[in-house]
Amino acid sequence: MLPTVYIAQINATVGDLIGNAQKIRTAAESARKHGAKVLLTPELSLAGYPPEDLLLRPAFLRRSQEELDRLIEDSVGWPGLTCIVGYAKRVDKQVFNAAAVFRDGKLIGSYGKLELPNYSVFDEQRYFTPDGAPLVFEVEGVRFGINICEDIWFPRAPAMAKAEGAQALLVLNASPFHMDKQVERLGVVTQNIARHSVPAFMCNLVGGQDELIFDGDSFVTNAKGEIIARAKRFEEDGLLVAFDANGEPQPAALAAALNAQEQTYHALVLGTGDYIRKNGFKGGIVGLSGGIDSALTLAIAVDALGPEQVTAVMMPSQYTAQISLDDAAACAKALGVQLHQIEIDPIVKSFSSGLAPMFAGLPEDTTEENLQSRIRGVLLMALSNKTGRLVLTTGNKSEVAVGYCTLYGDMVGGYAVIKDLLKNQVYALARLRNQMKRGINGEQVIPERIITRPPSAELRPDQTDQDSLPPYDLLDEILARFIEQGASVAELLEAGYSKEVLSQVIRLVRSSEYKRRQAAPGPRISTRAFGRDWRFPLTNRFTSKEFFQ
C-alpha cells in the first residue's frame, strides 16, 4: 500500500512556540484519524513566519529546539506517521531555516533551506545560513524529497532532490499573499519541479502576521504540473492526498477559486482579525465619517471580529453634512454596530481659544483643519485606552502616498486596514461587499450614496478631495505605475501623463515620507506596499529632476 499525505495548512503565530506546537499535534492527530502516513506543515511552522530578530536571541532558538524535541517524543503516540515540521535550527553560531523529519519518536533527518530570499518583504540572509544538502526518505514505497519555499523558485534544489532519488517533493511554504499570487506559485512549480516529472505537495502558511498575509491555498500537482488538489484560501484547512498503485498522487478536494477582488477582501478580513486577536486586543474602534473609506473599514472589521466586538464613533463638526450623519448611521445599523456620537465643536473652540494668543495676526490655513482631525484622533485613542479595543485607521493608499492625511489625526491608530488599497480599489471592494451579504434588515451595508457622492474630508465649507488632488482615476493610474510597477518619470511622461500633474504627484509622494514612516502597519495586498517593500530615507536631498527615474 502506498502512503497518503496530509497537508496541514495551519495559522501559526510568531513566537508562540507552545501554541504552534499544539497546532502541529492537533494536525498529527487529524492525519492519523484519516489514515495518513505523512504529515506536512508550513515553513517555520513551529516558530511562525517571519520571526525576524527573535532569531538573534539565543533563548528563542533554545526554546524552539526544546519544543521540537517534545514533538519528536510525542510522535511515539502517532505510530507510523512521518512528520515534517518547519523550525529554526541552530548549529554552533549558525542558524538554518530548516525542516525536521521524524517518526515514532526518532529524528530521521533535517533539511536546511538552500535559497534565501533577500528582496521585497524578505531579508532571510540577515538571519539564516544556506544549506540545501538533499534529504530524501522513504515512506511505504515512495521516496520523498524536501524543499522549502524559495528553493523551488530556482532550479537547483529541486534538481538536487531529484538526483538523490526523490519521486515526490514535499515543499514547506510561508509564501506571502498579493493579488493572484497563486498564478506565480503554479508557474514556478511548472518551471522548476514538473520538468523533472515529479509531483509536488505545497503546504503554505495561512494567517496574518503584522503587514503580511498568508493565504494558504496549499495545493498538489501531478508529475505534469497540473493541480489535482487544493486547500481553502484564507483559513486553516487540511488536505488529504493518496497515491495510487503506480506511485501517482490521486485527485482530491479542490477548493473554489476566488477572483482578485474576492482575494483582496478576504485577505483584509483575515489580516485585521488576526492582528487584533494575536495581539490581545478586545476588539476594534472605527471613526465613522459617512465616507467610503471608513464605511469599508467598518465592514471589514465587522466581518473579521463580529459586530459586538466593534465600536463605531461619529465625531461631527460644524462642517459635517447631514447626509454624512445619515449615511454613517445607516451603515452602522446595517452592520449591527452601535454608533456613538461625540460633538467636537466645543473641543475645537477650547483648543482654538488656548492657541489664540500665539496665532494672533496669522491667517487661517490647514492648521485649523488639522486641529479638527487631531481632536478626533485624541478621542479615539482615549476610547481605546479605556476599552482595550484597537483603533483602526481608515486612510487608503492614494491618500497615504501623497500625504493627504493628518499626522496624529486621521492617521492615529494601531492598524491601517485599507492602507494598501488605491481609492478606486476602495470603491470596488465596497460594491463587492454589498454583493456578498446584505445588512441585518436586508439593506446594503454600505449605502449607495456613500459610494456615489464626491469624497470630502469635511474640514472646511464645501470641501472635496479634488480641491487638493488630481482626480482619483488619474492619480491611481500614476501611483500604480510609479509605486507598484516601478515606472520612471520618463516612462510616465512617454505614456502621456502631463508634466504638471506628474510633478505635483511625485513631489507629494517624496515629501510625505516622514508621515508614512510613522503610520500604523496594515495588510499588504499589492506587489509593493508602503512598509517592508518601501524603504526610502527620511532625510533625503536627492531633489533633482531625475528623482526616482
Annotation says 33 is catalytic: no
The whole-model pTM stands at 0.93
- Say if residue 189 is in the same domain as residue 276: no
- Say if residue 237 is in the same domain as residue 295: no
- Say if residue 348 is in the same domain as residue 467: yes
Question: How is residue 221 written as a grid cell?
Answer: 500537482
| Closest to 233 (Cα-Cα) out of 199, 194, 260 | 260
Residue 460 has pLDDT above 80, yes or no: no
Q: What is the mean pLDDT of residues 500-510?
A: 89
**Percent share of the chain, pLDDT over 70:** 96
Residue 462 has pLDDT above 70, yes or no: no
Cα separation of 293 and 378, whole Å?
A: 20
Q: Is the model more confident about 445 or about 465? A: 445
Cα separation of 502 and 481, whole Å?
A: 12
> Which listed residue (83, 149, 203, 331) is catalytic?
149
Question: How is residue 131 written as a grid cell?
Answer: 544549506
- Say if residue 314 is in the same domain as residue 347: yes
> Which listed residue (23, 37, 43, 115) is catalytic?
43
In this prediction, residue 467 has a pLDDT band, given cuts at 50, 70 and 90, of low
Choosing from 219, 253, 287, the residue where a domain stops is 253
- Say if residue 243 is in the same domain as residue 314: no
Cα separation of 88 and 150, whole Å?
A: 16
Cα separation of 499 and 496, whole Å?
A: 9
Q: Where are the alpha helices (DSSP H) in 48-179?
A: 58-74, 156-163
Burial class (CB in 10 A: 0-12, 13-18, 19+), 86: buried
- Say if residue 164 is in the same domain as residue 286: no
- Let me know if residue 546 belongs to a domain: no
Cα-based angle 128, 131, 136 (whole degrees, multiple of 5)? 130
Choosing from 230, 253, 276, the residue where a domain stops is 253
Strand order in the sheet with 38-40: 106-112, 94-103, 82-91, 38-40, 4-9, 237-242
What residue numbers bound the domain in which 380 lies? 263-517
What's the CATH code of the domain at 181? 3.60.110.10
Structure confidence by residue, pLDDT tens digits, 88-107: 999 999 999 999 999 999 99
- Let me know if residue 541 belongs to a domain: no
- Say if residue 185 is in the same domain as residue 299: no
- Let me know if residue 156 belongs to a domain: yes
- Let me know if residue 401 belongs to a domain: yes
- Let me know if residue 548 belongs to a domain: no
Choosing from 222, 253, 284, the residue where a domain stops is 253
- Let me know if residue 531 belongs to a domain: no
Quick one: pLDDT at residue 537? 85
> Which listed residue (23, 37, 89, 113) is catalytic?
113
In this prediction, residue 546 has a pLDDT band, given cuts at 50, 70 and 90, of low
- Say if residue 324 is in the same domain as residue 225: no
Among all chains, which residue has been given the C-alpha cell 466586538?
Answer: 309
Quick one: pLDDT at residue 471? 87
Quick one: pLDDT at residue 68? 98
What's the CATH code of the domain at 432? 3.40.50.620
Cα separation of 53 and 159, whole Å?
A: 32
For residues 313 and 344, the answer to whether their CB atoms sit within 8 Å is no
Structure confidence by residue, pLDDT tens digits, 292-322: 999 999 999 999 999 999 999 999 998 888 9
**Hey, is 282 helix, strand or coil?**
coil
- Say if residue 211 is in the same domain as residue 275: no
- Say if residue 354 is in the same domain as residue 477: yes
- Let me know if residue 95 belongs to a domain: yes
- Let me know if residue 369 belongs to a domain: yes
- Say if residue 89 is in the same domain as residue 235: yes
- Say if residue 239 is in the same domain as residue 300: no
For residues 28 and 78, the answer to whether their CB atoms sit within 8 Å is yes
Annotation says 545 is catalytic: no
Annotation says 113 is catalytic: yes
Number of structural domains, the chain? 2
Strands (E), 113-224: 136-139, 142-148, 168-173, 200-204, 206-209, 212-215, 219-221
